[in-house]
């Protein structure tokens, strides 16, 4: 009998470096998908949302709630934004139109949003700077600010969990000044007259009034800010300030407005910059893309955004409406926080809604 010869297959030795490389690339891909479509982490670098959100907080951005926005600049290096090693890490050759996978929720008044800053037209939308502010008015709402108080659709509006800060003028006596000089974050002038300004909450202001050596604590008013050119829509005909603003109707998709002098001042920049239509006024006649029009119908939804640090925030009072296309995520929780002394454990996993 002939013996059958069994061919022995050679065992290929696996390359550990190659295996680790594949595992690393797979992990990066999973992380990129998670960051792009589910949740992301953002470091707060300003005080515009104080005292609710503080500088040094790392907040969780929920993209599933509003729906993940598909990349507008798909030719970009993952995990980079705007600049990387001094270079532009994306290409403008291919820019996709705005499109969003439907989320399980919609934006509500009071939601804290992470979004791309609308006034950076030199960047594609998804490469613009991330801002974090509170949504205070929805598409179709009418907003008014009277002596720093917010009214939406005629009703005074406050939000649960919001720790609002305002600028206060404080006067102290000389003895108290000598005690706190050099032991606080307040930058006193060389010739100090006992008066200085602080951005604090109303509760902190009331507590400060009872302190020995404090002569007065007074919330600053809008009389200090009469330069109407600073606020949106930069019209001398509208005597609006950051403390007295509106009434202003927020544009909504399919909402029709009659074109006149007032609506031209309020909405022309939005139509031009975010609806991508040319708008002109010639001899009291209005032209959209060169054609005379009596009405304009908005194609997209917009929101009005405020910082909780009301006297120290770059928000919709200055740059106008937030387009829906610029919204990235909703946040409702701080993951952890760091300051000069290290991790601030008291703010770890803190809820922003209560």
pLDDT tens per residue, range 179-202: 665 545 555 555 567 788 889 999
Quickly state the pLDDT bin for 9 (edges 50, 70, 90). Answer: low
Q: What is the pLDDT of residue 187?
A: 57
Q: What is the pLDDT of residue 236?
A: 80
| pLDDT score of 173 more than 90 | no
Q: What is the pLDDT of residue 230?
A: 84
Note whether 70 and 33 are within 8 A (CB): no
Strands 295-297 and 291-292: unpaired
pLDDT tens digit sequence for 241-251: 999 999 999 99
Map out the domains of the chain as residue ranges: 165-222, 256-297
Residue 211 burial (C-beta neighbours within 10 Å; 0-12, 13-18, 19+): exposed
Mean pLDDT value across residues 28-57: 94
| pLDDT score of 51 more than 80 | yes
Which two tokens mark 319? 């740059």
Q: What percent of the chain has pLDDT over 90?
A: 71
Q: How far apart are CA 286 and CA 93, in angstroms?
A: 34
Q: Which residue has the higher pLDDT, 134 or 188?
A: 134
Q: Which residue has the higher pLDDT, 321 or 181?
A: 321
Q: What is the pLDDT of residue 324?
A: 98
pLDDT tens digit sequence for 254-284: 999 999 999 999 999 999 999 999 999 999 8
Q: What percent of the chain has pLDDT over 70?
A: 89
Q: What is the pLDDT of residue 148?
A: 93
Q: What is the pLDDT of residue 239?
A: 84
Q: How many CB atoms lie within 10 A of CB 153?
A: 14
Q: Is the dihedral of CA 47, 205, 240, 155 positive or negative?
A: positive
| Phi, psi angles (nearest 5°) of residue 96 | -85, 150
Which DSSP string do the residues of 124-167 spell out, in sequence order? Answer: -GGGSPEEEEEEEE-TT-EEEEETTEEEETTEE---TT--BEEE
| pLDDT score of 215 more than 70 | yes
Which two tokens mark 288? 């959209």
Q: How far apart are CA 306 and CA 109, in angstroms?
A: 11
Average pLDDT over all residues of the chain: 90
Mean pLDDT value across residues 167-186: 70
Sheet holding 285-288, edge to edge: 279-282, 285-288, 291-292
Quickly state the pLDDT bin for 74 (edges 50, 70, 90). Answer: very high
Q: Which residue has the higher pLDDT, 62 or 6?
A: 62
Return the minimum-mean-pLDDT range out of 38-42, 177-181, 245-249, 346-350: 177-181
Strands 279-282 and 302-306: unpaired
Mean pLDDT value across residues 197-222: 87
Whether the pTM exceeds 0.85: the reply is: yes
Mean pLDDT value across residues 99-103: 96
Q: What is the pLDDT of residue 232?
A: 94
Note whether 309 and 198 are within 8 A (CB): no
């Amino acid at each position: 009998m002939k013996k059958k010869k069994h061919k022995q297959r050679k065992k290929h030795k696996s390359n550990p470096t190659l295996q680790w490389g594949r595992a690393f690339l797979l992990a990066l891909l999973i992380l990129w998908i998670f960051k792009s479509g589910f949740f992301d982490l953002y470091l707060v670098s300003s005080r515009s949302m104080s005292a609710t959100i503080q500088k040094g907080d790392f907040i969780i951005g929920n993209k599933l709630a509003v729906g993940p926005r598909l990349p507008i600049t798909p030719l970009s290096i993952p995990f980079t934004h705007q600049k990387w090693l001094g270079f532009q890490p994306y290409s403008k050759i291919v820019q996709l139109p705005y499109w969003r996978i439907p989320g399980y929720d919609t934006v509500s008044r009071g939601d804290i949003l992470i979004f791309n800053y609308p006034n950076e037209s030199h960047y594609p939308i998804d490469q613009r700077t991330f801002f974090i502010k509170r949504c205070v008015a929805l598409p179709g709402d009418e907003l008014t600010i009277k002596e720093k108080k917010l009214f939406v659709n005629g009703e005074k509006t406050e939000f649960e969990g919001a720790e609002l800060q305002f600028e206060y003028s404080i006067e102290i006596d000389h003895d108290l000044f000598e005690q706190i000089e050099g032991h606080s974050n307040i930058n006193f002038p060389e010739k100090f007259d006992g008066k200085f300004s602080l951005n604090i909450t109303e509760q902190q202001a009331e507590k400060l009034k009872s302190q020995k050596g404090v002569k007065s604590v007074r919330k600053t008013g809008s009389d200090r800010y009469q330069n109407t050119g600073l606020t949106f829509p930069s019209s001398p005909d509208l005597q609006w300030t950051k403390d007295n603003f509106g009434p202003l109707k927020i544009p909504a998709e399919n909402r029709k407005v009659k074109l006149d002098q007032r609506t031209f001042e309020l909405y022309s920049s939005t139509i031009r910059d975010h609806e991508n239509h040319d708008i002109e006024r010639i001899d009291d006649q209005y032209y959209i893309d060169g054609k005379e029009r009596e009405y304009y119908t908005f194609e997209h939804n917009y929101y009005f955004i405020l910082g909780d640090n009301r006297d120290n925030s770059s928000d919709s009072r200055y740059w106008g409406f937030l387009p829906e296309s610029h919204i990235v995520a909703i946040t409702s929780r701080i993951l952890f926080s760091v300051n000069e002394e290290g991790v601030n454990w008291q703010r770890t996993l803190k809820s922003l809604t209560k």
